[in-house]
Amino acid sequence: MLEFGRWIRSLRKERQLDIRSLAERTGVEVSTISRVENARTQVTLLTAIRLCEGLGKDVSDVFTVLRGKPMNKDVEERVTGADAVPNMGDVEQFLTYFQSNKEEGKIWFSDLLNRVVSMSRGDEGSARGNLSRVFVPEDIHKLLFDSPFYRFEIQYPPTIAARDIFTIYQHGGMLTLIDIGEYVKKVRRDRQVTLARLEQEANITQSILSRLESTVIEQIKLADVFMLDTQLGQEGTLLSMYWSVYSFYERLYRRHAASAEQNLKLVSIFILTCRWLQFMNPQDITWISNVRSYERLA
């Protein structure tokens, strides 16, 4: 096993790059790279992603370096082709559609939420487009912009188990921090891993765990993610999940820096709505065709 900073330095030298060249390639400051390479700071996950992408390495390489053995094949060999699992392409298409057709997008999105409500009530007309009218387009704006006067949130489907979330990921589905937070909580419960054990064996405190289970992008440490992965017996699964979500956030920020936070929130709400549609009636996958074509539901 190698220390992450030493590994980065050896890769940089193999590629005959000085620190300034690597900084220009990755967007990581020279001083930060120097501190990482000399183990004078704990590298954040975002910084690790930027450095690894700049040096042509991925999460499986990081796991092998930190753990001294290859990543679990169930994580590396992801399956593709699941019809009712929204993937990254679906998310990017949705963002493009919504940004180009905001008013129509709000109508479409409110219809999607109304379908969830209708299905949860068992309304027979929901499949024919006769939806309950609980949400209106103005509610989409309220979901995206916090208001001190009016606020509501969409809850995570309680029937989704940790194995379900892993299956979504294994089939190339797009995960959000909400998914990962729920995954961590459910795995901890299933394996009976207490906070006291995490503090004693891995020095993961309540504040660290709260950040790792948070639904907000945080400057979390690579070492904390890796230690939690180890304590939960994930063999790289959790590390890979975080890496995937934070890599998406990084690309989103680079493309749309001014609106990155709003877009991330929009993606989270979109995926959360899809989760309800996925698990309320798993046998019915007709809704995904609507999601991918943006046809009106009413």
Domain edges within the chain: 4-57, 70-298
The residue with tokens 């220390």 is 3
User: Could you give the CA distance from residue 168 to residue 82 in angstroms, rounded to a whole number?
Assistant: 9
Residue 76: strand, helix, or coil: helix
Q: Binning pLDDT at 50, 70 and 90, where does residue 298 land?
A: very low
Q: What secondary structure letter does DSSP report for 213? A: T
Name the most confidently modeled range: 21-35, 119-133, 262-276: 21-35
* End-to-end C-alpha distance for the chain, whole angstroms: 57
The residue with tokens 């001014």 is 258
- The yes/no answer on whether domain 4-57 falls in CATH 1.10.260.40 is yes
In degrees rounded to 5, what are phi and psi of residue 14? -60, -35
Range 228-231 contact pairs with CB under 8 angstroms and sequence separation of 24 or more: 228/184, 228/198, 228/202, 228/204, 230/67, 230/202, 231/193, 231/197, 231/198, 231/201, 231/202, 231/204
Report the candidate in 184, 247, 190, 246 with the shortest Cα–Cα distance to residue 216.
Answer: 246
Report how many helices (DSSP H) and strands (DSSP E) the chain contains, helices first.
17, 0
Helices (H), 101-136: 102-121
Q: Tens digits of per-residue pLDDT, 80-132?
A: 545 678 998 899 889 888 888 889 889 888 888 888 888 777 665 555 555 66
Q: Give 146 or 220, the one with higher predicted confidence.
A: 220
pLDDT of 295 strictly over 70: no
Q: Tens digits of per-residue pLDDT, 36-95?
A: 999 999 999 999 999 999 999 999 999 999 998 888 766 655 555 456 789 988 998 898
Residue 6 class from Cβ within 10 Å (0-12 exposed, 13-18 middle, 19+ buried)?
middle
Mean pLDDT for the chain overall: 86
Percentage of the chain exceeding pLDDT 90: 51
Q: What secondary structure letter does DSSP report for 42? A: P
Residue 5: strand, helix, or coil: helix
